Amino acid sequence: MQLPFEKIVNSEIETSAVAAEFSKLLNTGDLVCLNGNLGSGKTFFVKNICKEFAIETTSSPSFAIVNEYFGNTKIIHVDFYRIKSIEELHDIGFGEYLASMESIVFIEWANMFEEVLPKKYYAVEISQLNESARKIKIDWHE
């Protein structure tokens, strides 16, 4: 996969293929920031990346705020949607998750608290075009 990347996908199978291809770029210490409207497929995208790291069971972190998965690589999956303040991020130990060089960190709704993000991360934007079609844009942010 060459960045910047942009593709319109028309099915879950095509979305899964993009996730699998993107996963090949990822290494421990990486941060992936996902943005898109409710129902656009952010969690589905992360779930399919996790499969590439031998993690079969995942769930949305919307209510738990943070989920940790263990497979070939440790994955930390954070959801900013229900976070109301930067103080809440400090309370859940968000800084420690970011500092972890032993895992890959995914953040859904990352645009809600851009001020806490480091300078370098993968940016994934998923736009829902219709019931089945999505536009997936991936870039490296520095």
What pLDDT is attached to residue 92?
84
Q: Which amino acid is at 6?
A: E
Q: Say what the pLDDT of residue 60 is.
A: 77
> Mean per-residue pLDDT for 111-139?
95
Task: Round to whole Å and give the CA distance between 139 and 114.
Answer: 16
Give this prediction's pTM: 0.94
Question: In this predicted model, what pLDDT tens digit does every residue of 21-69 receive, in sequence order?
Answer: 999 999 999 999 999 998 899 999 999 999 999 999 887 776 678 999 9
pLDDT in tens, 74-110: 999 999 988 889 899 888 888 888 888 899 999 999 9
User: Residue 50 CB: number of other CB atoms within 10 A?
Assistant: 23
Give helix 12-23 / helix 42-52 axis angle, nearest 10°.
50
Q: What pLDDT does 63 receive?
A: 66
Band the pLDDT of 20: cuts 50, 70, 90.
Answer: very high
**Closest residue by Cα to residue 84 from 110, 117, 113:** 113
User: Which amino acid is it at 53?
Assistant: F
Element (H, E) at 135: strand 134-141
CATH number of the 5-141 domain = 3.40.50.300
